[in-house]
Amino acid sequence: MEAASENKRVAFVTGATSGLGLAISRSLIDIGFIVYGAGRRKPPLDLPDNYVYVQTDVALDESVNKSRDFVLSQQSHIDLLVCAAGFGISGSIEDTPIDSAIDQFNVNFFGVARVVCAFLPGMREQGRGRIIIIGSIAGKTGMPFQAYYSASKFALEGFVESLRYEVRRFNIEACIVEPGDFKTGFTGSRQKIIAPESPYYNQFERVISVQEHDEIHGLDPAKLGERIARLAVSKRLPARLTIGPLFERLAVWIRRILPDAWFEAFYRMYYHL
Ligand SMILES: NC(=O)c1ccc[n+]([C@@H]2O[C@H](COP(=O)([O-])OP(=O)(O)OC[C@H]3O[C@@H](n4cnc5c(N)ncnc54)[C@H](OP(=O)(O)O)[C@@H]3O)[C@@H](O)[C@H]2O)c1
């Protein structure tokens, strides 16, 4: 276990047991950070000494606060928070029980809010800090049959915009990163809420197969990890950064300039709706 260090930069990364959060952790360690990696499952065994696993469920206040206390008992400061914990549910709005939607928000949105609120007092007291939130391209444009996932990521966009105004005077910066498709455990962990008798069944199957194809052929998470590590030590954090395959970054840009009806027609064609 890492001893307290005045000199090393310290990061707390959620979702650090898999996929993007794990890749971000590795890249931060490569540039000299001590990473406290949070998740419910144990991370892979091949991680360097500067990765300290902290078992955390971001859906629970006590778990997040306990992890924060553990980090601050070992380290005199915290330089960076990266909130990457998340998962996806899919299914039609009509078929999705509200309890499932609440679970989705409890991790993807309130999980971020819990972690940010847990670490903000320490950052304010030390007079500096950086917060990077992993949103999604699905938080810029609603994805068919992923309404609650998209909504949780749209919510993070507003959260980060508001946060930036509030914490600026304490020398704390925040940024939302909007990834496109990266090949991670995300596809395998997705909860699918659909039954063969659903009136949406055929449409759902067509759309989800396109979405999963794009995810499985997505970019290497290491690319995102390296980009976030550079961002973490850059002069200033931008409000947002979209990272992903060119086609998906273009779609976000086109979404801004095309009339809604045209963009919807493009998505209907792309997803065979
Ligand atoms: N992959 C993509 O293409 C993509 C695109 C856009 C955005 N994103 C976002 O990137 C983030 C990471 O996803 P990923 O692609 O890396 O998927 P992943 O490989 O499935 O990793 C998800 C991570 O979130 C953690 N997590 C989930 N629920 C949690 C909870 N209740 N408490 C604590 N940790 C929890 C998991 O840890 P445990 O299971 O150990 O708890 C795991 O480390 C998500 O927010 C996702 O929405 C991914």
pLDDT at 5: 59
CA of 266 from ligand 1 middle (Å) equals 28
* Residue 114: its H or E element: helix 110-126
Q: What is the pLDDT of residues 163-178, one digit of tens each?
A: 999 999 999 999 999 9
Q: Which atom of ligand 1 is nearest the CA belonging to 22?
A: 43
Q: Name residues contacting ligand 1 (CB within 6 A).
A: 14-15, 17-21, 39-41, 56-59, 84-87, 107, 134, 136, 179, 181-182, 184-186, 189, 215, 218
Spatial separation of the C-alpha atoms in residues 15 and 38, rounded to whole Å: 6
Question: Does residue 1 lie in a domain region?
Answer: no
Q: Which residues pair with 90 in a beta bridge?
A: 192
- One-letter identity of residue 10: V
pLDDT at 69: 98
Q: What is the pLDDT of residues 117-168, one digit of tens each?
A: 999 999 999 999 999 999 999 999 999 999 999 999 999 999 999 999 999 9
Q: What's the half-sphere exposure (Cβ side, CA atoms, 13 Å) at 265?
A: 5
Task: Examine the pLDDT at 219 and tell me if it is beyond 60.
Answer: yes
Task: Examine the pLDDT at 100 and tell me if it is beyond 80.
Answer: yes
Sheet strands side by side (includes 33-39): 51-55, 33-39, 9-14, 80-83, 129-134, 172-179, 240-243
pLDDT at 7: 76
Question: Does residue 3 lie in a domain region?
Answer: no
As annotated, the active-site residues are 149
* Mutation choice for ligand 1 from 67, 184, 215, CB with most ligand atoms inside 8 A: 184
CA of 108 from ligand 1 middle (Å) equals 9
Q: How many residues does the chain have?
A: 273
Q: What is the 8-class DSSP label of residue 234?
A: S
Task: Examine the pLDDT at 105 and tell me if it is beyond 70.
Answer: yes
Question: Does residue 186 lie in a domain region?
Answer: yes
Task: Examine the pLDDT at 86 and tell me if it is beyond 80.
Answer: yes
pTM above 0.75, yes or no: yes
Q: Which residue's entry shows tokens 């500067």? A: 50
Q: What is the pLDDT of residues 37-75, one digit of tens each?
A: 999 999 999 999 999 999 999 999 999 999 999 999 999
Nearest to 171 by CA among 123, 229, 114, 228: 123
What confidence tier does 4 reach under pLDDT thresholds 50, 70, 90? low
* Residue 164: its H or E element: helix 147-167
* Mutation choice for ligand 1 from 25, 60, 108, 186, CB with most ligand atoms inside 8 A: 186
Q: Which atom of ligand 1 is nearest the CA belonging to 189?
A: 20
CA of 257 from ligand 1 middle (Å) equals 30
Spatial separation of the C-alpha atoms in residues 92 and 148, rounded to whole Å: 9
Q: What is the pLDDT of residues 12-21, one digit of tens each?
A: 999 999 999 9
CATH number at 223 reads 3.40.50.720
* Shortest-distance Cα residue to atom 11 of ligand 1: 84
Longest dimension (CA), the chain: 60
Q: What's the number of domains the chain is made of?
A: 1
Question: Does residue 167 lie in a domain region?
Answer: yes
pLDDT at 3: 46
Average pLDDT in the chain: 96
Q: What is the 3-state secondary structure (H, E, C) of 168-226?
A: HHHCEEEEEEEECCECCCHHHHCEECCCCCCCCHHHHHHHHHHHHHHHHCCECHHHHHH
Of all residues in the chain, what percent carry a pLDDT higher than 90? Answer: 97
Question: Does residue 51 lie in a domain region?
Answer: yes
Spatial separation of the C-alpha atoms in residues 166 and 159, rounded to whole Å: 11
pLDDT at 6: 62
Question: Does residue 169 lie in a domain region?
Answer: yes
Give the rounded distance of the alpha carbon of 185 from its chain centre.
13
Domain residue limits at 223: 9-270
pLDDT at 1: 45
Task: Examine the pLDDT at 92 and tell me if it is beyond 90.
Answer: yes
Q: What is the three-class DSSP state of 9?
A: strand
Question: Does residue 4 lie in a domain region?
Answer: no
Handedness of CA 230, 234, 240, 242 (dihedral sign): negative
